[in-house]
Chain A
Amino acid sequence: MTDSITPSATSASDVPMVHADRVSKSFGTNQVLKSLSLTVQRGEVLCLVGPSGSGKSTFLRCINHLERLSAGRLTVDGELIGYRETNGKLYELHPREAARQRREIGMVFQLFNLFPHMTALENVMEAPQRTLGQPKARAEEHARDLLDRVGLADRMNYYPAHLSGGQQQRVAIARALAMEPKLMLFDEPTSALDPELVGEVLDVMKGLAQSGMTMIVVTHEMGFAREVADSLVFMDGGVVVESGHPREVLESPQHKRTQAFLSKVL
């Protein structure tokens, strides 16, 4: 992959890409995240694993402010997400500002969420044109390039309904990359796919990881975690139970809960 999708190195490289400091999130009385702290370095690929309901997806959605935090601080590239802090006081960001922050964070959803009334090409072109003000010709050129890179050069003018799940998810990845994000979030990107289609999506993600993109991947694909991830975090009940190098965590889990989970999925 060329350098257009490698994260820009504008800010100081010692600032972590994502830093969560005692983050909590509750829905009503249900506390989903409990004082969770986590750091993702620039260029790092982090896999989040854990049973359903453990708060993995919620944490991911907090990173681009689709969900509001209940407590704690979350920064992306040194910038506080969703708020501005001046003289020790937090100010809510204007939606315009929150949207600007989200433009730098790509997200890929479990159910793809492609826009069904647009072709693959239009799906990828839409956001850069509307939010970055890219001229149509440039957005199209970039979109063609991206779709080519995810292996869909011959499917550009298809509507999502006429693409397989794996193809749809690859369009969704291209769509997120079109915004040239510095961080990519994957929310169980292969969980809704037929087993034989999982590989093509993982291959694209692997290529992306090799290009140096910072990625947080919620997944149940332990093979991918072992092969591609730099670190693996096992979550349960809204807290980090265990984290470390994927090989170490997967092969010799220290915690009982991790052992129990891994024995079921491996």
Chain B
Amino acid sequence: MTSVGQNQTAAGATPPSSGSGRGDETEPPDWTAESAPIKAIRLRHPWRTVFAVVLILIFALFIIDAARRPAYDWPSVAKYIFDRRISQAAVNTLQLTIYSMLVAIVLGVILAMMRLTPNPVVKSVAWFYLWVFRGTPVYVQLVFWGLLAVIYQSIDIGIPFMKPWHSFETNAALNAFTLAVIGLALNEASYMSEIVRAGLLSVNRGQEEAATALGMSWFQTMRRIILPQAMRVIIPPTGNEVISMLKTTSLVTAVPYSFDLYTRTRDISAETFNPIPMLIVASIWYLFFTSILMVGQYFLERRFARGVGDRRPDRKGAADEGTPTGTLPIVGSGQPTVLLPPREDNPPVNPGHGGLP
């Protein structure tokens, strides 16, 4: 591009194809002079504007049309959206999601670590679990859990073939909600374990080596060194799984548990013979929860971006502060350090956050 470059080409064996061989006549540029800041006319993108306007028009037309269309039955939507039965069902769905995801994440981490241990017995157990629970449809598994009481009438605790110390009746001990959570969680754990395993494998091998060389045990290395770094890789797909779980809860009718959001709205529409507004009601609630979960994920990702500040989701804050430590307040806390900008003349970034050493 520069005249220097052209000179070099010209000096080579191949003659320049264009008539720019006059490059050697030009003055060498003065490298010391400060160049003028670039003031260029911005490139315009008229078609983007046109396309956006067309899309907005189409969308507006759709909304206006939908608002008038009797089949949507907006008065019914308004009537049922905060209906006691619906909001209770929404809470149930949220509980199903949270409980089963919590169990699934804990179990998934354990399974992933089991698969990476040097212990072949433990490794095979984890593999077998994955094979069964990932290999069969969640719907089938939920039906099975629903039939647990038919297969095993009582749950006995004790030594096999001896009189049990304690015995409960399955039906009394496990209600449909619990069975639904178990069914969803055990299935999800198999997927989570693969996500966690991918995260653990993504951490540089040198990290494990350094921790081992310091005399840390395998478990300490995993928990303190590898897992925290793997979190950055684990969180985004886990967010996916949470949102997916929120919607998978609509399958718990297989258990049968019928107080979740979707089953409830379906039951109500079976009475009113008017399914469409109920579907809209359910969708609004699902979207509402999903949006909240997405916000939560954003903050979690920020929390685990420690030490790799430049790759955090919002780069703006980090860049503006100009401190080299990535000193955004650490969200989620539980973390002892808020970093002190090293030089005295730098005021603390976030005085409200305390904990400055």
Instruction: Indicate if the CB atoms of B209 and A159 lie closer than 8 Å.
Output: no
Q: Are A64 and B213 CB-contacts (below 8 A) given A126-B224, A130-B224? A: yes
Among A114, A116, A157, A179, the residue within 8 A (CB) of B308 is A116
- Chain B residues 310-341 with CB under 8 Å of chain A are 310, 324-326, 337, 339-340
Roughly how many angstroms separate A265 CA and B85 CA in the complex, as a whole number? 81
Given known contacts A126-B224, A154-B342, A159-B325, is B215 in contact with A100 (CB within 8 Å)?
yes
Size category, B interface:
20 to 34
Q: Does the CB pair A157–B325 fall under 8 Å? A: yes
CA distance A155 to B220 in the complex (A): 26
* A93: B residues at CB distance < 8 A: none
Who on chain B is nearest to A155 by CB? B342
Which residues of chain A (80-126) have a CB below 8 Å from chain B? 95-96, 99-103, 105-107, 109, 111, 113-119, 122, 126
Contact A116/B229 with A161-B310, A161-B326 known, Cβ cut-off 8 Å: yes
Assess whether B167 is interfacial by the CB under 8 Å rule: no
Contact status B209-A113, CB under 8 Å: yes
Measured between beta carbons, the chain A residues less than 8 angstroms from B325 are 119, 157-159, 162
Question: Is A66 an interface position by the 8 A CB rule?
Answer: yes
Flag B217-232 by CB within 8 Å of A: 1 or 0 each.
Answer: 1101000110011000
Assess the B342–A116 pair: CB atoms within 8 A.
Answer: no
Is A189 positioned at the interface, with any CB of B under 8 Å from its CB? no
A109 touches which one: B210, B229, B309, B357 (CB < 8 A)? B210
A176 contacts partner chain B, Cβ-Cβ < 8 Å: yes
28 residue pairs bridging A and B, Cβ less than 8 Å apart: A64-B213, A66-B209, A95-B217, A99-B215, A100-B215, A103-B214, A105-B213, A107-B213, A113-B204, A115-B210, A115-B229, A117-B308, A119-B337, A119-B339, A126-B224, A126-B225, A130-B216, A131-B214, A131-B215, A155-B342, A157-B337, A157-B339, A158-B325, A158-B342, A159-B307, A161-B308, A161-B309, A162-B326
* B209 in complex: contacting residue of A101, A109, A154, A158, CB < 8 Å: A109
Closest 8 CB pairs of A and B: A103-B215, A113-B210, A127-B214, A159-B307, A113-B206, A107-B213, A116-B307, A102-B215
B9 to chain A, nearest CB (A): 32
A160 at interface (Cβ–Cβ under 8 A)?
yes
CB-CB nearest in chain A for B226: A115
- Contact present for B306 and A99 (CB under 8 Å): no
Residue B207 CB within 8 A of the other chain: yes
Q: Which of A103, A107, A161 has the most CB of B within 10 A?
A: A161
Q: In the complex, what distance in Å separates the CA atom of A154 from the CA atom of B326?
A: 16
User: Taking A115-B225, A119-B337 as contacts, is the C-beta distance between A159 and B215 under 8 angstroms?
Assistant: no
Q: Closest B-chain residue to A119, C-beta based?
A: B337
Given A109-B210, A113-B206, verify A127-B307 contact (CB < 8 Å).
no
Indicate whether A175 reaches chain B with its CB closer than 8 angstroms: yes
Interface size on A, residues (CB 8 A): 38
B212 is an interface residue with CB less than 8 A from chain A: yes
- Separation of A162 and B225 alpha carbons in the complex (Å): 19
CB distance from B205 to the nearest CB of A (A): 9
| Cα distance A24–B24 in the bound complex, in angstroms | 63
List chain A residues, Cβ under 8 A from B204: 113
Nearest A-chain residue to B323, judged by Cβ = A162
A154 to B340, CA, bound (A): 10
In the bound complex, do residue B207 and residue A113 qualify as a contact, i.e. CB atoms below 8 Å apart? yes
Q: Which residues of chain B are within 8 angstroms of A157 by Cβ–Cβ distance? A: 325, 337, 339-340, 342, 357
- Residues on B with beta carbons closer than 8 Å to the beta carbon of A127: 211, 214-216
The answer to whether A162 touches B207, judged by C-beta atoms less than 8 angstroms apart, is no
A147 → chain B closest CB, angstroms: 12
Query: With a CB–CB cut-off of 8 A, which chain A residues contact B357?
Result: 157
Known contacts A102-B214, A103-B214, A115-B210; can you find 17 more A-B pairs with CB under 8 A? A99-B212, A99-B215, A99-B216, A101-B215, A109-B213, A116-B307, A117-B228, A117-B304, A126-B216, A127-B211, A127-B214, A131-B215, A154-B343, A157-B339, A158-B339, A159-B308, A162-B326
B-chain residues with CB within 8 Å of residue A113 when the two chains form the complex: 204, 206-207, 209-210
Are the CB atoms of B214 and A160 closer together than 8 Å?
A: no
Assess the B326–A159 pair: CB atoms within 8 A.
yes
Report how far A175 CA is from B214 CA in the complex, Å: 9
Q: Which of B276-332 contact A (CB under 8 A)?
A: 304, 306-310, 324-326
Residue contact A111 to B340, C-beta cutoff 8 Å = no
A158→B337 CA distance, assembly (Å): 11
CB <8 Å contact, B216 and A161: no
Q: Which residues of B contact A126 (CB under 8 A)?
A: 214, 216, 224-225
Q: Which residue of the partner chain B has the closest CB to A103?
A: B215
Chain A residues with Cβ below 8 Å from B215 are 99-103, 127, 131, 179
Chain A residues, CB < 8 A from B213: 64, 66, 102, 105-107, 109, 176
What does the 1/0 interface line of A147-159 toward B look like (CB < 8 Å)? 0000000110111
Contact A176 B308 (CB under 8 A): no
Q: Mark B194-210, 1 if CB is under 8 A from A, else 0.
A: 00000000001011011
Q: Which residue of B lies closest to A159 (CB)?
A: B307
Write out the residue numbers on chain A whose beta carbons fall within 8 Å of the beta carbon of B337. 119, 122, 157
Per-position 1/0 for B107-144, Cβ under 8 A of A: 00000000000000000000000000000000000000
Complex CA distance for A260 and B7, rounded to whole angstroms: 40
B212-A66 in contact (CB<8A): yes
Closest CB-CB distance, B191 to chain A, in whole Å? Answer: 25
Residue of A at shortest CB range from B213?
A107
A118 vs B307: C-alpha distance when bound (angstroms)? 7
- Complex Cα distance, B214 from A155, in Å, reads 22
